[in-house]
Structure 1
């Protein structure tokens, strides 16, 4: 997986961009860019990476990301959607260097700082904002800008109950290009090889460090150990398999890189607070319409 530093350009008639993306092609590689990103993803199965957070998603979500926050949605399954993924990109100075320093925007400025960890919104405001994002695509430039300000207003007025942080409190955006490329290559190595034996030595070689130095380096950059990260990737993939496929728990464990089922069960519980059998049973109930969790 090659590291990607995405260069985003505004639309010809605007200082910011609004676009729609088909989910199968949406952000398949870990990347970052120098703009704020507001993304709406319709319900879809994906393994989401934002900062130091790895999670399987199976629901729609509205997320605000600050510049240089590494992220991707690795699609596990996509279906035809009536609503495409919607994305707005804007720079901090897209209306001048002092634009967000205006007192009228003080509430949104606070959210911009929180977005360094990534913000996931919830509640009724998601529906309201998505409706505005859809409208923007057909609006003339001035009306599009007014609609963007309306979105800023809705987010700024959101209570703490209407959003949650994604990356950990200790996570810091990777701004150094060398560090970013190393971490991206390591993420790629794990993503491509989670079903096999993950070698600490290989990961250390990718970073051009000794194993002990690599462990310290990875913890410094991500605020989690390399072993914890590998575990999260594997268990996230195991969750997807348990929910989507009628295969045995042992087959899922082996397919996700576990040769020892006791270890698989223990790590699954550590991440999900459930054992694999309970997890599979819960979502088989949901699929059959017997019970909704």
Structure 2
């Protein structure tokens, strides 16, 4: 494992207090810019928040990004900037026992550090808009995402001084991204009171869903696991995660089906079962609602786009 990664992970901990569960990231004594890479699943990959702003690149896999009150799909190449203390999580679609060794890359810096930079160098004043937009989770696409992703990857091979230059260039990419390649996804005015019980409950519910995606999942069982009534849990999850519990389950299941249709030769019926749907008509209806097309048409379109299957139907 990269020495930088091991050192960084040893300096991460979670403090639970009356004011909330907070991921404490202790920076290097001689560095204001922190870079790390993680595999998945990972104990650090959960719904959490911290004071640092976070540049985040997904290198492999697909799933759902949760930030504030929004849930958006991601796949390899996804780049996002998450503001200070905005709760976030990236839930990857993995099979039981599967690990993504190079799932993501991230860069942390305190907003105060950037404000000090802007005070000393007026040339960087435009970065202030990036900081404000980060409070609503900024997502890049197209050439802007490619440029930001390359910078985040390159940081891992650079010394601390070079990473400062990378960070400034990274902010420049976000500042210069055209409207067609940059968007914010959190509702304006979003404000969730974070506390240890909120974060623990959300993470327990997410763990229950991801561990049982191919089997039976019920609102009642999720509520029982977190010691809440079904109605109270339903309201809580929608407010905290920004999406209804059943909608969250559906989007994860259909996301898995899309990946398997595009990358494997498995029969549609088998894929349906592995995504937790016993009934073909229900699966087809949910898939159509989520994607606007049928499973067979989706597979055909992705085969035309040149994607090759990764395994056979009889595996």
Residue 46 (structure 1) aligns with: 62
Residue 61 (structure 1) aligns with: 78
Whether 1:202 aligns to 2:221 is yes
Q: Bigger shift: 275-284 or 26-35?
A: 26-35
Whether 1:94 aligns to 2:122 is no
TM-score by length of 1: 0.80
**8 Å Cα contact 2:77-2:149 kept in structure 1:** no
Q: Distance in 2 between matches of 1:79 and 1:177?
A: 28
Q: Distance in 2 between matches of 1:258 and 1:113?
A: 42
Question: Could you tell me how far 1:38 is from its partner in structure 2?
Answer: 0.8
> Aligned ranges for residues 234-273 of structure 1 at < 5 Å?
234-273=253-292
Residue 31 (structure 2) aligns with: 14
Q: Bigger shift: 113-122 or 139-148?
A: 139-148
TM-score by length of 2: 0.75
Whether 1:227 aligns to 2:243 is no
**8 Å Cα contact 2:77-2:146 kept in structure 1:** no
Please, which of 69, 87, 90 is the counterpart of residue 72 of structure 1?
A: 90
Gaps of 5+ in 2: 1-13, 15-20, 309-315
Q: Distance in 1 between matches of 2:283 and 2:187?
A: 25
Q: Distance in 1 between matches of 2:56 and 2:307?
A: 31
Whether 1:277 aligns to 2:293 is no
SS in structure 1 opposite 2:304? helix
**8 Å Cα contact 2:93-2:256 kept in structure 1:** no
**8 Å Cα contact 2:58-2:77 kept in structure 1:** yes
SS in structure 1 opposite 2:24? coil
Residue 4 (structure 2) aligns with: none
**8 Å Cα contact 2:33-2:109 kept in structure 1:** yes
SS in structure 2 opposite 1:259? coil
User: Which deviations, in whole Å up to 9, do the C-alpha atoms of 1:148-201 show, x marking residues without a partner?
Assistant: 223223322323222123456686556222111111111111111121111221
Question: Could you tell me how far 1:248 is from its partner in structure 2?
Answer: 1.8
Q: Distance in 2 between matches of 1:192 and 1:170?
A: 33
Question: Could you tell me how far 1:254 is from its partner in structure 2?
Answer: 1.6
Q: Distance in 2 between matches of 1:80 and 1:205?
A: 33
SS in structure 2 opposite 1:45? coil
Gaps of 5+ in 1: none
Q: Bigger shift: 65-74 or 134-143?
A: 134-143
**8 Å Cα contact 1:26-1:75 kept in structure 2:** no
**8 Å Cα contact 1:204-1:210 kept in structure 2:** yes
Q: Distance in 1 between matches of 2:104 and 2:225?
A: 33
Q: Distance in 2 between matches of 1:69 and 1:263?
A: 33
Question: Could you tell me how far 1:121 is from its partner in structure 2?
Answer: 1.4
Question: Could you tell me how far 1:271 is from its partner in structure 2?
Answer: 1.0
* Number of residue pairs matched by the alignment: 281
Question: Could you tell me how far 1:214 is from its partner in structure 2?
Answer: 1.6
